[in-house]
Amino acid sequence: DIVLTQSPGPLSLSPGETATLSCRASQSIRNNYLAWYQQRPGQAPRLLIYDASSRATGIPDRFSGSGSGTDFTLTISRLEPEDFAVYFCQHYVTSTWTFGQGTKVEIK
Amino acid sequence: EVQLVESGGGLVQPGGSLRLSCAASGFTFTTYWMHWVRQVPGKGLVWVSRINPDGSDTNYADFVRGRFTISRENAKNTVYLQMNSLRIEDTAVYYCVRRGDYGGVLDPWGRGTLVTVSS
């Protein structure tokens, strides 16, 4: 199974700053089949990014994804109060999906 | 608007059974794979199972294979998760999720139903 490792641990930032989140895979992700999800407290996850760099419908352009192979990044520019949440990466290469452990972006 | 509404969670003793339901609306249910994903409160997301549009193909995570069964009733736009031989470590919020419109992504998600396995 592909293991996804996210870093850093909790990320403490102020509104208006930029968050850079990393997701590293234990083996190359074919076709960049990697997604990012946001989970706000008490809510279900929602899709932000698919195919490593494409924004899902309705997602603001301050969210961007990049990377290929085994190293992927989610960048959140100009943090808004509603962006403070937990972010998960997920691959969909095989018929069993795995997620990273999550990165919490918290208010400094 | 796409909606997924889970039900059936609750408190059950170790070794017991529970059946979760997920009522879908707002899309053509018969054309989508459906998934179950679980999350221990405060922890990460773990994929559990999926079923294809006509119910003929299913996949399971190793830790539930042989204990859980996913099924669907297309006439009722509903997907189920039958959970048998429940263990304490199965305690989690269970989310019903639709396969997204972009490859294998999971989108959208239901609000989840809490399953607590405890004596």
User: What is the number of helices (H) and of strands (E) in chain B?
Assistant: 0, 11
Tens of pLDDT, residues B88-101: 999 999 999 999 98
Please give the torsion angle defined by the CA atoms of residues B27, B81, A92 and A63, in that order, rounded to the nearest 10 degrees: 60
A101: chain B residues, CB-CB within 8 Å: 44
3-state helix, strand, coil in chain B (%, to 5): 10, 50, 40
State the Cα–Cα distance between residues A7 and A71, nearest whole angstrom.
Answer: 11
Hunting for tokens 């070794």 — which residue is that? B15
Question: Nearest by CB to A35, which of B47, B105, B108?
Answer: B105
Q: Are A18 and A75 in contact (CB under 8 A)?
A: yes
Q: Mean pLDDT, chain B, as a whole number?
A: 96
pLDDT tens-digit map of A34-83: 999 999 999 999 999 999 999 999 999 999 999 999 999 999 999 999 99
B23 and chain A: CB distance < 8 Å anywhere?
no
How far is the alpha carbon of A36 from chain B, nearest alpha carbon, in Å?
9
Partner B contacted by A75 (CB < 8 A): no
